[in-house]
Amino acid sequence: MPEVLLSNDDVTVLGPPAIIDLQLDVGPQGTRGSKFFVGSGDPNTLTVDDELGGQTLLLNDLYVNVSPGSEYGYLYQFLAAPGGNTWEEVLRLNPTVFAKNYEVTFTSGSGTITVPIADITDLSAGSLTADNFNVQYSVIHDSPTACVINSVTKAGSNLNIVFEAVEYTGSWSDLAEQVVVHLYITIVEAGES
């Protein structure tokens, strides 16, 4: 409580208290928040001691799979489940993107790449049409080359991409050799006709 230093009917001057007693207490440690783990493969197959640095898992911990393959980039959460706690897939962190280099043999200016749809996405192939795939590419060749996609079709569980290409070697002629095609495919919403 402040101390009265001077007082009269018109003015009252207050000063600081003579003693300030400040007590600090840290208190008990609370439960830590979610922890992020990063590793290769399905976290349900990993051992805490080896792959997770000996950490104790708590419910709601998170894990990102960085192993190349069909489950690359999935975020898992450690959740309570009947039979024991388990890692559950929550979402895919990166969009469905497929990128690969193919050696394509062109004959009379035509070449085809067949890609299993399961390599591109884990969506059911039956729910997709050829219009759901955005295909981008580049052709690697020593001579100037002009190339177009003739067609993109879905045949069962495969995506067939047919290219037409010509090369310039003093004059334009159909490409007739094996070249590398850099292929990049994303899943898109089909446009209206």
Mean pLDDT of 7-26: 77
Give 1 or 11, the one with higher predicted confidence: 11
Which residue spans of the chain are classified as CATH 2.60.40? 97-187
| Per-residue pLDDT at 187 exceeds 70 | yes
Residue 146: pLDDT band with limits 50, 70, 90? very high
- Cα separations in angstroms, 85 against 3, 33, 36, 48, 89: 61, 17, 17, 13, 13
Query: If we measure between CA atoms, which residue out of 54, 71, 72, 52 comes closest to residue 62?
Result: 52
Residues in contact with 185: Cβ distance below 8 Å, sequence separation at least 6, in sequence order: 97, 98, 99, 115, 120, 133, 134, 135, 136, 159
What top-level class would CATH report for the domain 97-187? mainly beta
pLDDT digits (tens, 9 = 90+) for 52-106: 667 788 899 999 888 776 677 789 999 999 988 999 999 877 767 889 999 999 9
Which pLDDT value is given to residue 58?
Answer: 87
Give 118 or 181, the one with higher predicted confidence: 181
pTM over 0.85: no
